[in-house]
């Protein structure tokens, strides 16, 4: 790879130490590692100098931002999702965009499975029950439900969805799924392709692993929630706006849905006073599906590789098409 030390790479937020070390060896890194948000003046100054942007997903990359970054050749986001990036606007300017698919699959599948298990066995609710002193008062928590023999429905059978399958099979669950297109390896995975309507009607646990785009925004709404069993649970590890939060609150509060477990919300972060958090049958985690040391480091290093390859004029190992 050619000498890249003349290039400046701007990080939009704090980045992993492994990424800092790797970038500082080969380029000029512009990175705000102090506490608090980067001052706007500093942000705009660095943006004007940057040849590449290491995006931590904390900003909207649109025409307005790109107009302030005339030198940028590559933008690499340290996540698999990139709905905050106007890819068409980047393409029009000849900017290549990278992301980090693959390296976070197992971590996200683990959390998704954990939320399925929590929905069935009320693990978080049980912990809160004990901490509140109710166990000591001989107050009952209520019963959960077995996973064995139940049906898991996966909407979005990509890498994460397919990684969730063996985890569910370990609990003796049946798995059905819906995609835009049926996969060719259903037999190997031991899964069944169904329509979205069939999935929502049949599944005891519905897991969302789709990307956020115009066709999936608001996918789970009053009409689709009405199709689900009142004993079913909804698990979202995809993106918050895929679910209509008001409709979800109504379904849970009125007993038309048994449980929800969300790692992503709309808005995000979810305010502590949000009415969804007043319900006992909701578990919300703060977007931690990919938050393991190993996965975050792997994401950071793939982001660095995307940047360095892009600056060298080579194909990105993980480019958004």
Catalytic machinery residues: 239, 268, 287
Q: Look-up: residue for tokens 């004029």?
A: 313
Residue 287's SS3 state is coil
Helices within the chain (DSSP H only): 17-24, 40-49, 63-66, 87-92, 105-121, 123-131, 159-170, 186-189, 196-202, 222-227, 245-253, 293-311
How far is residue 178's CA from residue 247's CA, in Å, rounded to a whole number? 22
Q: How many CB atoms lie within 10 A of CB 222?
A: 14
φ, ψ of residue 109 to 5 degrees: the values are -65, -35
Chain centroid to CA 16 = 18
Q: 143 and 119 in contact (C-beta within 8 Å)? A: no
Sequence-distant (6+) residues with CB within 8 A of 185 are none
- In eight-state DSSP terms, residue 221 is S
**Which among 152, 206, 209 is positioned nearest to 179, based on CA atoms?**
209
């Amino acid at each position: 790879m050619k000498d890249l030390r003349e290039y400046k790479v701007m990080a939009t937020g704090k980045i992993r130490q492994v990424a800092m070390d790797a970038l500082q060896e080969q380029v000029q890194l512009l990175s705000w590692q102090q506490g608090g948000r980067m001052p706007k003046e500093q942000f705009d100054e660095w943006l004007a100098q940057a040849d590449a942007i290491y995006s931590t997903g904390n900003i909207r990359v649109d025409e307005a931002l790109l107009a302030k970054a005339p030198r940028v050749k590559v933008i690499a986001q340290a996540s698999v999702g990139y709905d905050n990036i106007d890819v068409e606007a980047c393409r029009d300017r000849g900017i290549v965009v990278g992301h980090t698919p693959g390296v976070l699959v197992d971590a996200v599948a683990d959390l998704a499975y954990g939320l399925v298990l929590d929905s069935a066995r009320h693990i978080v609710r049980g912990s809160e029950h004990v901490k509140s002193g109710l166990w000591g008062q001989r107050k009952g928590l209520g019963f959960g439900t077995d996973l064995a023999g139940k049906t898991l429905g996966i909407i979005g059978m990509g890498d994460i969805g397919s990684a969730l399958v063996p985890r569910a099979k370990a609990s003796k669950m049946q798995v059905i799924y819906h995609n835009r297109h049926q996969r060719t390896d259903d037999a190997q995975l031991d899964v069944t392709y169904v329509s979205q309507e069939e999935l929502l009607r049949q599944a005891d646990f519905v897991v969302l692993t789709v990307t956020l785009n115009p066709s999936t925004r608001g996918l789970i709404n009053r009409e689709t929630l009405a199709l689900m069993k009142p004993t079913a649970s909804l698990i979202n590890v995809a993106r918050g706006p895929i679910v209509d939060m008001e409709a979800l609150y109504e379904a849970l509060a009125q007993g038309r849905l048994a449980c929800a477990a969300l790692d992503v919300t709309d808005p995000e972060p979810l305010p502590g006073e949000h009415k969804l958090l007043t319900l006992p049958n909701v578990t919300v985690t703060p977007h931690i599906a990919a938050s393991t040391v190993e996965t975050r480091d792997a994401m950071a290093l793939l982001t660095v590789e995307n940047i360095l390859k892009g600056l060298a004029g080579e194909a990105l190992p993980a480019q958004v098409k």
